[in-house]
Amino acid sequence: DQQVKQNSPSLSVQEGRISILNCDYTNSMFDYFLWYKKYPAEGPTFLISISSIKDKNEDGRFTVFLNKSAKHLSLHIVPSQPGDSAVYFCAASRSYNTDKLIFGTGTRLQVFP
Amino acid sequence: GAVVSQHPSRVICKSGTSVKIECRSLDFQATTMFWYRQFPKQSLMLMATSNEGSKATYEQGVEKDKFLINHASLTLSTLTVTSAHPEDSSFYICSARDRAGAGEKLFFGSGTQLSVL
């Protein structure tokens, strides 16, 4: 049972435009969500997070939106840059400091010039 | 940022042999390390939590006698796949937590692609 879903395996966006990566979850007990970015031959690196008490968190070009009623979150990257091309993983946990992260399957973003 | 080194990056072995994968935190002490497995087109799945100086905690469905975890120091955890079989072929990746901290304090290794012939 996939508790965290990223239904789009890939996304292609032109440089300068907005990239929107989506993530859905099924477990209403999740209250902390993270996005990781992964380049080839490297491990995932933390990008941005949001707790369930918020509906938006922004860090530079990256903004994460959380819609608890829809059990949906999204990552917006604007403007997109070629260096953003990577695989993006959504992850969820049941509390802020839990060890157990449940990951999505990832979305491969390609930003072309 | 913190660095976690994982070796080897790729290993091919014969069925029945054992394979050891190392995970090192290079510039911080990690009391807790995590081991994940990812099959093609699936998500990273937590296999076990490795605590320095104590026994690892395995997730449901993960055989502890098959996947031996040793966390003998604050900077090194090893995963040994014993008597590997083709169905163990997968991408294995570790992460380490920099002392206290939530998910953003998790630092991942670059992973090991295991192929069992």
Average predicted confidence (pLDDT) for chain B:
90
**Is residue B52 pLDDT above 90, yes or no?**
no
Residue in chain A lying closest to B4 (CA): A43
Q: Of B35, B43, B103, B46, nearest to A34 (Cα)?
A: B103
Q: Of A84, A83, A69, nearest to A21 (Cα)?
A: A84
Best mutation target among A6, A32, A46, A93 (most B Cβ atoms within 10 Å) is A46
Q: What is the pLDDT of residue A100?
A: 81
For residues B29-39, average pLDDT: 90
Each residue of B68-79: pLDDT tens digit? 999 888 899 999
Chain A residues lying within 8 Å of B44, measured CB to CB: 44, 89, 103
Q: Which whole-number Å values give the CA distances from B35 to A31, A100, A111, in the listed order?
A: 23, 11, 31
Residue A40 DSSP symbol? T
What whole-number distance in Å separates Cα of residue B115 and Cα of residue A12? 31
**Residue that the structure tokens 């935190």 belong to:** B25
Any idea what the Cα angle at residue B28 is, between residues B26 and B32, rounded to 5°? 100
Residue A88 DSSP symbol? E
Each residue of A62-109: pLDDT tens digit? 999 999 999 999 999 999 999 999 999 999 998 765 678 899 999 999
Each residue of A25-36: pLDDT tens digit? 999 999 999 999
pLDDT band at B101 (very low <50, low <70, confident <90, very high): low
Name which of B32, B43, B108 is nearest A2 (Cβ-Cβ): B43
Percent of chain B with pLDDT over 70: 93
Please say whether the beta carbons of A87 and A21 come within 8 A.
no
Contact B102 A96 (CB under 8 A): yes
pLDDT band at B31 (very low <50, low <70, confident <90, very high): confident
**Is residue B22 pLDDT above 90, yes or no?**
yes
Q: What is the pLDDT of residue B83?
A: 96
**Is residue B4 pLDDT above 70, yes or no?**
yes
pLDDT band at B28 (very low <50, low <70, confident <90, very high): confident
Q: What is the pLDDT of residue B90?
A: 95
For residues B2-10, average pLDDT: 91
pLDDT band at B1 (very low <50, low <70, confident <90, very high): low
